[in-house]
Amino acid sequence: MIPLLIAAAVSLTASIFGTPYAIRYFRRREIGQFIQEDIKGHAHKQGTPTMGGVVFVTAAIFGWLVSHVQLWTPSTGLAFQLRQFNAGGYLAILALAGMALVGFFDDWIKYSRKRSLGLSKAAKFGSQLAIAALFAWGASQAGVVTELSFVRPLGIDLGAFFVIWVLVMLTGAANGVNLSDGMDGLAAGSAALVVASYTVIAFWQFRNSEVYQAVDPLELAIVSAAMFGALLGFLWWNAPPAKIFMGDVGSQAVGGLLAALALLTNTHFLLAVLGGIYVAETLSVILQVASFRTTGKRIFRMAPLHFHFDLGGWPETTVVIRFWILTGIGVALGLGFFYGDFLVLEDIL
């Protein structure tokens, strides 16, 4: 438990005090957000510093690293030691940092070319495929279960197609978080709740390792705790009215980490419950495009979903807080499914 607290505290501190420096730096370099002209009431956000994800991703990795440092143990007293790093932690950080790098180049191209389009679809997909392939290979070496899962494996083995499933999970989660990153604090606040739920899930799997087949669950809990602290620190500055946005570097990183945690804890489809708001945001875009192309009519005033309510007259803070509440409901429901399954396994329920 102590490494989790250290990871969260260090990441929170680094993020909350590091973000103001990033805000000033990005302002000097004029690295700001581009706002679509058809999003009414958001024109004032034009030029707000973006790429804030660089700060909380760095803070989370730093917190994870520091959590492995031991300065005192009951047996040896004061002594500098390093706890062992395990494969699960490396894989989670690979997904986090790898997807963050993709998002960083996407953001950088937008900034350097002064346009709203970043990496080409081919370049982004190729980069994500490379990360997925490397993650799938590393996970297989670490003994990951390649079966589809909900709260635990379902017995449907993907075999060689596991790498394709990893790609679907990584890109799906990253796009879902990215689509929700359209209002101050919406993506960061909801992501903090979902990441926190994986801290609970992974730590519970560690404490009940005879029941679960997760890959190094304690390491996963530490990474989750570190990201939770980092996101809270960033949210301090990203809450309405936002002083900085996370950018693609942040949304891609969070999505990559959530996918990795779901894959390594064998809770693939449970992520759709925990992060139900991301599923809703993604489906709203898919339905909007499909409806317009087939009938010429729009289902929503605007997609993603949060802009539908924004254009309907809801204040931005109302939309954000209500979406946080919906995320909290999804997290509670997901944790209920997870714990309920444990009670059934242990013949308690």
Query: Taking a C-beta distance cutoff of 8 angstroms, is the pair 230, 65 a contact?
Result: no
**Could you give the residue ranges of the DSSP H alpha helices within 239-311?**
247-264, 270-274, 276-295, 305-311
- As a whole number of angstroms, the distance between CA 217 and CA 208 comes to 10
Phi/psi at 151 (5° precision): -100, -10
Q: Write down the mean pLDDT value for the chain.
A: 90
pLDDT reading at 79 higher than 80: no
pLDDT reading at 325 higher than 80: yes
Give the H/E segment covering residue 17: helix 2-29
**The pLDDT of residue 42:** 47
**The pLDDT of residue 48:** 83
**The pLDDT of residue 43:** 47
**The pLDDT of residue 75:** 61
Provide the residue range defining the domain that includes 140: 2-345
Highest mean pLDDT among 71-75, 78-82, 239-243, 343-347: 239-243
- As a whole number of angstroms, the distance between CA 51 and CA 62 comes to 18
Query: Taking a C-beta distance cutoff of 8 angstroms, is the pair 159, 146 a contact?
Result: yes
- As a whole number of angstroms, the distance between CA 185 and CA 305 comes to 15
Structural domain count, the chain: 1
User: pTM for this one?
Assistant: 0.92
Express each pLDDT in 218-252 by its tens digit.
999 999 999 999 999 999 999 988 999 999 999 99
**The pLDDT of residue 74:** 61
The DSSP 8-state label assigned to residue 319 in this structure reads H
Structure-model confidence comparison of residues 182 and 169, the more confident one: 169
Reduced to 3 states, what is the DSSP secondary structure of residue 83? coil
Percent of the chain beyond pLDDT 70? 91
Express each pLDDT in 126-181 by its tens digit.
999 999 999 999 999 999 999 999 999 999 999 989 999 999 999 999 999 999 98
**The pLDDT of residue 30:** 75
**The pLDDT of residue 72:** 65
pLDDT reading at 91 higher than 60: yes
Confidence of residue 80 (pLDDT cuts 50, 70, 90): low
Highest mean pLDDT among 81-85, 120-124, 231-235: 231-235
Express each pLDDT in 2-24 by its tens digit.
889 999 999 999 999 999 999 99
Q: How many CB atoms lie within 10 A of CB 168?
A: 13
Express each pLDDT in 33-55 by its tens digit.
555 555 555 444 556 888 899 99
Give the H/E segment covering residue 137: helix 121-141
**The pLDDT of residue 77:** 61
Express each pLDDT in 267-319 by its tens digit.
999 999 999 999 999 999 999 999 989 888 898 899 899 999 888 889 999 99
